Structure 1
Amino acid sequence: MNGIQNEAKTIKLNKAKPFDLKETFKNPEILTLIGFFVLCIFFSLFTEEFFTGTNISNIIRQVSINGILAVGMTFVILTGGIDLSVGSVLALTGTIMAGLMINVGLPPILAVLIGILLGALLGYINGIFVSYARIPAIIVTLAMMEAARGVALLYTGGYPLSGLPSSFAFIGRGYLFEVIPMPAVIMILVFIVAYIILNHLPFGRHIYAIGGNEEAVRLSGVKVKRIKTLVYLISGITASISGLIMTARLSSGQPMAGEGYELDAIAAVVLGGTSIAGGRGHIFGTLLGALLMGVLSNGLNLMGVSPHVQRVLKGVIIVGAIYYSSRSQKD
């Protein structure tokens, strides 16, 4: 008799919960995915060029740049920080790569390596001031945003650096197996690495924990300052990889490249469900957010919407996403 009762209890416990539409829509990743498909349908109805092969390729290339930026931003925001310098670091590292190839004659591989190391250094400097000097991240990265942009303009004299090797352009314009754009290949690899770090390594678990309760993590013996410094270093690396793709795509080093891209990266992260307060989010959501932002920008451009109006819309989207995320957490 007791065995039958225990079995009945087990069946009751294992019974599937009924589908709850309200709970489903509390998941920001689901909403972002739905929004992505809705935008695709909308723009395909009102613009003839949206679903052309050329335009889809352009969307993928643009999403790749913002998506890679957003990966680094995800790491930073998960710890409760912010990085406003990513657009300027993109520009500076891109112009340095171009200058080393054009003016110094370095091979592309060596120039790219130096550019990525420079991005890592700039991110490391951000991390040092945020973690050890305890200066608010918004102040440190705002200062780096201005400084990096200024150095890029000084280095180039305010003019683009042209004359890059034709082989270098393959990174931004080429295709893998003549089908997949190379920027998309690089973005996928970056997301895979980020997924492994955040979900399968102690370093990733510590990042989430710091965003949830930094003081408790510190008391448990984790070296919080070192982890937060490394997070900003990662953001610098992803910014330099985005700078590599943009420089190769434009076949020139542009000192004003990436202006305002920090807003797009933050929007992608927040739309993907990462809490702006830190401690909660998923790298897959960031990818969805980057796709949505890419489709939105492309579609509005095709419809002839003013860039100024687009900036207003992006600001509204960010505030709305943060508000919805905070309400979902309270509920």
Structure 2
Amino acid sequence: MLLWVAFSLNNPQVFATTSNLQTILSVQAMTGLLALAVVVPLVAGHFDLSTGFQLGLAQSLCAVLVIQHQWPPLLALVVVVGIGVVIGIVNGQLITRLGLPSFTTTLGTGMLILGLTEWLTQNHVITGPAPAWFLDLGRVRVAGVPLPFIYLAVAAVLLFVLLELTVWGRRSYAVGANPTAARLSGINADRQIRQSFITAGFLCSVAGCISMTSLGGSSPVIGLGSLLPAFAAAFLGATCFRPGRYNVAGTVIAVYVIGVGITGLNQMGAEVYIQDVFNGAALLIALVISTIARRRRVA
């Protein structure tokens, strides 16, 4: 709120407008969905560094199928989401069955996915005609609210209920806090971890499809720029509501705090690199705050 007020006072004719608010809500929805995908494995005590690359593959595959091969959009969506789930299964199996560390494992699968995306698109941006109703799924506004933001809100509510109000969510938090104690209490920790990666894959593929409808095409390198903002939001969100604890509400708020900051700076004429500086600073600050909060809670 303070950021919004500050930028509004500085640039009222551009920043403090309804159209600018609608743009921020729409553009940051993809980052929000990706941040939620990041949060689910983090809750279970694991990193998924392949999330941004999964989004890039989903966006590109959706564009290839719908724009280049004229597939029925609904069939393309099913295929893309299905592949996202398969990637989640592969990540989960590598980590739980083989005991591989999630950080390096998902970095490796992420680079494989990036290579696959570059091969699929021949490293070119994909644009072209697509059914108008399909593109409208990422562009239409309902009562002035962009559809992508509505998708994010629905996903956030469902994930909040899943993590905070169900046995599955409590088990995931237990596994993330102390996997050994969770196993001793009868929780199938490996299954929780696998399911968290599957959920992440599903959310990444949905985010990729939504971004394709919003942009009307795809870029093979979008995943490279999406990962840091998503992790920055997830860690910054862990400083809200329940400090030191990854949570849905805090993550969504953090996405838009970062989005407002970057948008305001860009409209003030800041250099392009400021976005990376802002995201990196937000991530470092969030790490420091959440680490301190976690230590205090344990003490």
SS, match of residue 172 in structure 1: coil
Retained in 1: the 8 A contact 2:50–2:109?
yes
Provide Cα deviations, 1:177-222, integer angstroms capped at 9, x if missing partner.
Answer: 4x22110111111011101111222111111001111001112221
* 1:45 equivalenced with 2:6 (yes/no): no
Range 298-307 or range 262-271, more displaced: 298-307
1:62-73 aligned within 5 A:
62-73=27-38
Asked if residue 296 in structure 1 is aligned to residue 229 in structure 2, the reply is: no
CA contact (8 A) 1:92 1:148 kept: yes
Question: Aligned equivalents of 1:307 and 1:228: distance in 2?
Answer: 37
Determine whether 1:308 maps to 2:250.
no
Deviation at 1:226, TM superposition (A): 1.2
1:226 has 2:191 as partner: yes
Q: In 2, are the aligned partners of 1:271 and 1:318 still within 8 Å (CA)?
A: yes
Is 2:111 the partner of 1:146? yes
Matched, 1:157 2:122: yes
Contact 1:74 1:274 in 2 (8 A): no
When normalised by structure 1's length, the TM-score is 0.84
State how many pairs are aligned: 292
Residue 54 (structure 1) aligned with residue 49 (structure 2): no
Partner AA of 2:73 in structure 1: P
Partner residue, 1:169? 135
- Structure-2 change in CA distance of 1:43 and 1:316 (3 Å): same
After TM superposition, what 4+ stretches of structure 1 lie above 4 angstroms from structure 2?
none
How is 1:144-293 mapped onto 2 (pairs within 5 angstroms)? 144-163=109-128, 164-177=130-143, 179-273=144-238, 280-293=245-258
Counterpart residue type for residue 44 of structure 1: S
Q: Which one-letter code corresponds to 1:89 in the other structure?
A: Q
Aligned partners of 2:14, 2:68: CA distance in 1, in Å?
A: 39
Matched, 1:94 2:26: no
Q: Deviations over 1:138-167 (max 9, x none)?
A: 111111221111111111111122222222
Match of 1:320 in 2: 285
* Percent identical: 29
Separation in 2, partners of 1:83, 1:136: 10
Give, in angstroms, the shift of residue 309 of structure 1.
2.8
CA distance in 2 between counterparts of 1:292 and 1:321 reads 13
Unaligned 5+ runs, structure 2: none
Shift of the alpha carbon at 1:100?
1.4
Question: 2:239, 2:286 within 8 Å by CA — same for their partners in 1?
Answer: no
Q: 2: CA distance between counterparts of 1:129 and 1:279?
A: 28
Q: Which residue of 1 aligns with 2:295?
A: 330
Q: What is the Cα-based RMSD across aligned positions, in Å?
A: 1.8
Larger radius of gyration: 1
**How many Å apart are 1:103 and its aligned residue?**
3.2
Q: Which residue number corresponds to residue 16 of structure 1?
A: none
Deviation at 1:317, TM superposition (A): 1.8
Paired amino acid for 2:192? I
Once the 2 structures are TM-superposed, how far is the Cα of residue 259 of structure 1 from its aligned partner? 2.1
